Structure 1
Amino acid sequence: MKILITNDDGIFAPGVEALADLLSHFGEVVIVCPDTEKSAYSHKITLRQPLKLKKIDFAPNAEAYAVNGSPADCVKLAMEVLLKEKPDIVFSGINIGPNVGRDMYYSGTIAAAQEAMLYQVPSVSVSLETFKTSKIKFSIVKQLLYNVVEVILQNKIAKNVMLNVNLPYTSKELCKGVCVVPMDLSISRYNFVALNDPQGQDYYWLKDSYQDLKVNEGTDYHLLKDGYITVSPIDLKNTQKRKIDQISRWFNKINYIQEEN
């Protein structure tokens, strides 16, 4: 099995090293990551500057490259330039900090996995529910993730679907289980706060309110905080035939007038 790994925390993030070590037990691993942190880059691609693939001495069990671009750039370059054939699956992560709810639209981690979907390659984004990078024991994280990866690889991810996986920072023994849930888009995690510069002018900074959110039971936020692994399928299919037919009828009058003329 050929596995492509990427992330948005950068090539030297400890999460990508942990993920590469884990996935090397399942197949041949290639890593293509941004050369610096690109968090919250969403699905940005680079149009107006050249990109470079730089080989990195990463680990004996993985071939690794750094790219001076976005997470989506990394996957696109890997698919179109670096790899002779498509990988069997793409993993993006392990991201430091969860990706829940509206993060689906902002996260570079998720966007990289979505880019793989555009190439009809199964993909998984993986995030960890902690922000204390220096205190993370990745041996615990890998034990928690191993069985999840094993189940995913034993089954076939549906076409045009990716899986967004969030891990609680807890031991395998204390984890309460795995819940497959939609991402709760009703909650706004990032909110602007106003501050004053030395001249007394207002400026605005986005504050992450994740730790203070009051969330509904059964949501990805709630279950993750409660000690469950959450798995959220994300569908690439953005349009539905029924909606296309419905909205087409809105314009019937315009089309009729044009045909008359």
Structure 2
Amino acid sequence: MKILISNDDGFMSPGIELLTTIMRRFGDVTVVAPDSGRSGQSSAFTIGKPLRMDKVSEEPGLRRYVCSGTPTDCVKLALHEFFADEKPDLLVAGINHGANTSTAILYSGTMGCVLEGCENGILSIGFSQCNHNWNTPLCYLEPYIEPIVRKLIELNPPKGICFNINAPEGAIKGVVLTRQCDGHWGKEFEKRVDPTGRDYYWLTGEFFNHEPDAADTDEAAVQNGFISICPVKIDMTAHEYLAEMEKINWQL
């Protein structure tokens, strides 16, 4: 099996190191990750400036490269350079330091990798966990990641379906299937003053859960100690609303 790994925290993150160790049990691994943190890049890619990719290391079954671009750039460039003749069997992104539940999926560079892989017809899985601290050990996730990946490979989902997996901080009670929570990020900026007296703004943000009593969401799962597995699709069409729109005459 050929596996592509990327992330948005950068090639030095503990999360991608653990994920690489686990995924080597499945086959030959290629890692292409950003040269520094690229959180919040979503599916952004580079236009109008050069991209660079440098080899970090290579050994039997594992090659690691660092890329100057976004997470999506990493996936695009890896597919172009290493998998032009044959796509990888699996793309895995993460392990992200910080959850990507609810509408965070819209901003996440981790899920940007996943969506890019999915768009290219590759089974793609994103792993995130709630703790932002790089010094927090992630070994508690290891017993869960491998069996989850094996089950999703066995499931063999149709093209256009990928997976957003989020883990709680600390003890894990189990694994649950979820849907994306309805919520939004607000109070996003803090106004500050720099040493020269000029105003500037620092991104902070507060998450507002619009359905705090719902038990079947990804946010509820991680808040209650469960790993969330949420299927995600590329097709963003609101199919359920098309019939309502068709009641109107759109011939202008």
TM (norm. structure 1) is 0.85
Tell me the matched-pair count. 250
For 1:259, the equivalent position in structure 2 comes to none
Structure 1 stretch displaced more, 28-37 or 139-148: 139-148
What is the CA distance between 1:225 and its match in structure 2?
1.8
Q: Deviations over 1:190-211 (max 9, x none)?
A: 6223334567665432214369
1:221 to 1:252, Cα distance in 2 relative to 1, 3 A: closer
Counterpart for residue 62 of structure 1: 62
Whether the aligned pair in 2 keeps the contact of 1:102 and 1:189 (CA below 8 Å) is no
CA contact (8 A) 1:141 1:169 kept: no
Give the aligned residue type for 2:55.
Answer: K
2:118 corresponds to: 117
Cα distance in 2, alignment partners of residues 93 and 59 from structure 1? 21
Query: Over residues 98-152 of structure 1, what are the superposed CA-to-partner deviations in whole Å (9 max), with x where a residue is unaligned?
Result: 111111110000011001111111100000121221132x332212322212222
Which residue is equivalent to 1:182? 179
- SS of the equivalent of 1:117 reads helix
Is the contact made by 1:181 and 1:231 (CA closer than 8 Å) also made in structure 2? Answer: yes
Q: Distance in 1 between matches of 2:59 and 2:207?
A: 34
Distance in 1 between residues matched to 2:246 and 2:208, nearest whole Å = 44
1-structure distance, mates of 2:51, 2:67: 7
What's the CA shift string for 1:203-259, capped at 9, x where partnerless? Answer: 4322143699994342322220211000111111122567557657756332xxxxx
Contact kept, 8 Å, 1:11 with 1:35, in 2: the verdict is yes
Which residues of 2 match residues 97-246 of structure 1 at below 5 A? 97-136=98-137, 138-170=138-170, 174-188=171-185, 191-197=188-194, 202-209=199-206, 215-218=212-215, 219-239=217-237, 243=241
Q: Which moved more, 1:127-136 or 1:239-248?
A: 239-248
> Which ranges of structure 1 fall in alignment gaps of 5 or more residues?
255-261
C-alpha distance in structure 2 between counterparts of 1:250 and 1:80, whole Å = 45
Structure 2 residue matching 1:45: 3-state secondary structure: coil
Aligned to 1:47: 47
- 1:7 counterpart residue number: 7
Taking a change above 3 Å as real, the CA distance of residues 212 and 23 of structure 1, as seen in their structure-2 partners, is same
Offset of residue 65 of structure 1: 1.1
Structure 1 residues 213 and 239 mapped into 2: Cα distance closer, same or farther (>3 Å)?
closer
Query: Structure 1 residues 112, 196: CA separation in 2 closer, same or farther (over 3 Å shift)?
Result: same
Question: Helix, strand or coil for the counterpart of 1:188?
Answer: strand
Give me the whole-angstrom Cα distance separating, in 2, the residues matched to 1:199 and 1:212: 38
Cα deviation 1:66-113 (Å, max 9, x = unaligned)? 111010011111122222310011001011111111111100000110
Matched, 1:76 2:76: yes
What is the rounded CA distance, in whole Å, between the counterparts of 1:91 and 1:99 in structure 2?
A: 15
CA distance in structure 2 between the partners assigned to 1:196 and 1:50 by the alignment = 35
Residue 94 (structure 1) aligned with residue 92 (structure 2): no
Which of the two has higher C-alpha Rg?
A: 1
State the one-letter code of the partner of 1:182: R
Structure-2 change in CA distance of 1:54 and 1:248 (3 Å): farther
Q: Which runs of 5+ in 2 are unaligned?
A: none
SS at match of 2:50: coil
Cα 1:208–1:44 shift into 2, 3 Å: same
Distance change (3 Å), C-alpha of 1:121 and 1:207: same
* 1:123 match: secondary structure: strand
Report how far residue 156 of structure 1 moved.
Answer: 0.9
RMSD: 2.7
**Structure 1 residue 176: deviation in Å?**
1.6
